[in-house]
Amino acid sequence: MFRGSDIPEISPEDLVRTIESGGRIRVLDVRAPNALATGRIDVGSPDQFLNMRGSEVMSLGDGIRSTLDPDMPLAVVCGHGNSSKQIAAHLNGLGYRASSVRGGMAAWGDAVVARDLTPPPGFDHLIQFDRIGKGALGYLLAANGEGLIVDPPRKPQVYFDIAQDLGVTIVAVADTHVHADYISSAPAIAQHSKIPYYLHPADSILPYDGSPGRIPFEPLRDGQTLRVGGRDIGVEHTPGHTEGSVCYRVGDDCVLTGDLLFIRSVGRPDLGGKVDEWTPILWKSLSRSLSAWAPGIRVLPAHYGSDDERESDRSVGRTLDRVRQGNEPVRLLGDEAEFVAWVKKRVGSSPEAYRKIKAINLGLLRVYDLEAQELEGGKNECALG
């Protein structure tokens, strides 16, 4: 019989790396089927995932062999990594090689995998941080031992771990906009580390009722230049998804587009409850920026919707000329009326949690960790589609 300390565990990050490297493993989700609506592990091919109640797995005994290949290693996942240990122990007793996913789906929602990208000229590092469970992306740009963090998640420790490994001191933190789908750690990082937190002032107000935020920040302006390690990062004010959305651009090499521009779509202009006002603004921002950016500039967004937006190295980002080819709303930018009509056909109801998350990000509400996990549950819904 396996004791608790003897049950093998696998971290969400190691599970991702195993699947992405082509390792043989199958995910067995032992939650009730209706729990999948709040999110599931969807890395890998569909046949690598199976949902079966834990009670059913236990009751089948040796009969489970007709459903689960005994030669295929298993990663067993539940809500918080407790019952999955019992199921893994049971399966190992039947001769399987089963590991429990450490922390369960709660940990999956927070898991971040770092990917090295080719840095812009003059920079030493460009790291993309992939929060798999949300389809959210953050970045670290570093030059000459100094680093800027952009769009960090609620739990940013991996950013600091990697910066330390690289010998980089974080000198500033920034958001491309005040997020609605996840809680940003940027204000807390700035306060704790006594470094600037950059945000456009148009986003320092709750759009639903005009309440002013309560977070200290360094105001950004269009055309401003941030200096990191003696290198320049340009700020472009690109409203439309929010009133204070910005992009961070490094010459003609790359641009962190936030929720302005995704690989397959553009940011929703309706999450602030002002779709009629913000949609023409979104069109104007996209038209102006895309006409000014070089065709070969790398578009590095803050979100993605599916694996078909990834490159062969699993990163998310491609040159602007390639984005133009596969992005339907971008192809409509030549006709404002057509673009606006396309957008208005696709906007929908904003997730209820988004209003609360935006208030949290402005310092107007506080929540405990468990409620934060619940609010952030599931993939982002920031793109039009």
Same domain, 213 and 308: yes
Residues (pLDDT < 50) of the chain are 1
Same domain, 63 and 151: no
The last residue of one of the domains, among 92, 108, 124, is 108
In a domain, 384, yes or no: no
In a domain, 259, yes or no: yes
Sheet holding 246-250, edge to edge: 225-228, 231-237, 246-250, 254-258, 298-301, 318-319
Burial string for 134-144 (b: 16+ CB within 10 Å, else e) reads: bbbbbbbbbbe
Q: How far, in Å, are 10, 63, 92 from residue 96 at the CA level?
A: 15, 13, 5
What is the Cα–Cα distance from 294 to 320, expressed in whole angstroms? 7
Same domain, 280 and 134: yes
- Length of the chain as a residue count: 385
Question: Mind listing the pLDDT tens digit for each residue in 174-210?
Answer: 999 999 999 999 999 999 999 999 999 999 999 999 9
Range of the domain at 16: 4-108
Same domain, 185 and 283: yes
Same domain, 333 and 351: yes
Q: How many domains does the chain have?
A: 2
8-state DSSP, 76: E
Question: Mind listing the pLDDT tens digit for each residue in 11-23?
Answer: 999 999 999 999 9
8-state DSSP, 307: G
What is the separation, in whole angstroms, between the first and last Cα of the chain? 50
Question: Mind listing the pLDDT tens digit for each residue in 329-360?
Answer: 999 999 999 999 999 999 988 888 999 999 99
In a domain, 382, yes or no: no
Beta-bridge mates of residue 77: 29
Question: Mind listing the pLDDT tens digit for each residue in 289-311?
Answer: 999 999 999 999 999 999 999 99
| C-beta atoms surrounding 304 within 10 Å | 23
The last residue of one of the domains, among 108, 140, 170, is 108
Question: So what's the pLDDT on residue 348?
Answer: 82
In a domain, 177, yes or no: yes
Question: So what's the pLDDT on residue 1?
Answer: 45
Q: Assign 3-class secondary structure to 226-293.
A: EEECCEEEEEEECCCCCCCCEEEEECCCEEEEECCECCCCEECCCCCCCHHHHHHHHHHHHHHHHHHC
What is the Cα–Cα distance from 80 to 206, expressed in whole angstroms? 33
Same domain, 17 and 63: yes
Cβ–Cβ < 8 Å for 49, 41: yes
What is the Cα–Cα distance from 358 to 363, expressed in whole angstroms? 9
Beta-bridge mates of residue 137: 130
Same domain, 318 and 172: yes
Same domain, 209 and 67: no
